[in-house]
Amino acid sequence: MCRSVRLGRCWSASGAVREQIDQLTFAMLAPLAQMEASGALLAEGGQNTLKAYLAHAWGIGHAEADRLMVLAQNLHRQRLPETAAAIEAGALTVGEAAAIAAGVEREVDKRDPGAEPDADLYRATLDRGLAGMKADRPAMSVKSLGDPAGLRSRPPTNHHPRGNTTQHNTTASAPAPWRPLDA
């Protein structure tokens, strides 16, 4: 038990342990998604889905398992490059990264295909926006990160992260800078 004069030391030790747990969790997620994609998860863990495996083997609730599954699948498929870079830099916790992944996928599923026909481009745009928001506002809540619908300014839709362009918007040539919500 810590005394008040040592409270800073206890918090710092606790933070280091939490950081190590996050690093281990991140290191396991993409390989677990690979196992799910190959069918090895069923053979090794006895579950059909990564969500079921995480809930059973890690003893977590189904909502948390679902968010971690979405994060793992997106990391495995390399669909969230900005989030992955922030994870590698240690700028995101597991909860923050999972909230971003789940929120992005929710918005991709809800998008108007007429306005945003390229799901991968839309996903990358949201990923870039949320990673930018987190970098600009480190104290941003997990709840805010999980709700990308609040992004007001999005880069033009013709700027694809892979360098490809789409036909539906040919007036812009580079992504617009991210603007805070209250700007």
Q: Residue 168: inside a domain, yes or no? A: no
Q: Within 13 A of 103's CA, how many CA atoms are on the CB side?
A: 24
Number of Cβ atoms within 10 Å of the Cβ of 64 = 16
* C-alpha count within 13 angstroms, C-beta hemisphere, residue 102: 20
pLDDT (tens, 9 = 90+) of the chain, 183 residues, equals 443 333 344 445 677 888 899 999 999 999 999 999 999 988 888 899 999 999 999 999 999 999 999 999 999 999 999 999 999 888 899 999 999 999 999 999 999 999 999 999 999 999 999 888 888 888 888 888 877 766 644 443 444 444 444 433 333 333 444 444 444
- Is residue 170 a part of any domain in this protein? no
Q: Let me know if residue 178 belongs to a domain.
A: no
Has residue 172 been placed in a domain? no
pTM of the complete model: 0.73
pLDDT at 12: 58
State the residue for tokens 């609730």.
61
The amino acid present at 88, given as its one-letter code, is E
165 in any annotated domain? no
Confirm whether 181 is domain-assigned.
no
Confirm whether 155 is domain-assigned.
Answer: no
Among 59, 52, 60, 62, residue whose Cα is nearest residue 32: 52
State the pLDDT at residue 14: 73
By three-state DSSP, how is residue 180 classified?
coil
How much is the pLDDT for 169?
39
Number of independent structural domains in the chain: 1
Q: Residue 145's pLDDT is what? A: 81
Beta carbons of 181 and 154 less than 8 angstroms apart: no
Classify the phi-psi angles of 46: left when phi > 0, otherwise alpha if psi is within -120 to 50, otherwise beta: left
How far apart CA 162 and CA 61 sit, in angstroms, is: 36
| Sign for the pseudo-dihedral over CA of 143, 147, 151, 157 | positive
Rg (CA), the chain: 18
User: Is 1 inside any structural domain?
Assistant: no
CA 36 to chain centre: 19
Residue/partner pairs of 168-176 with CB below 8 Å, 24 or more apart: 168/117, 175/128
How many Å is the maximal CA-CA distance in the chain?
64
Structural domain for 54, as ranges: 13-150
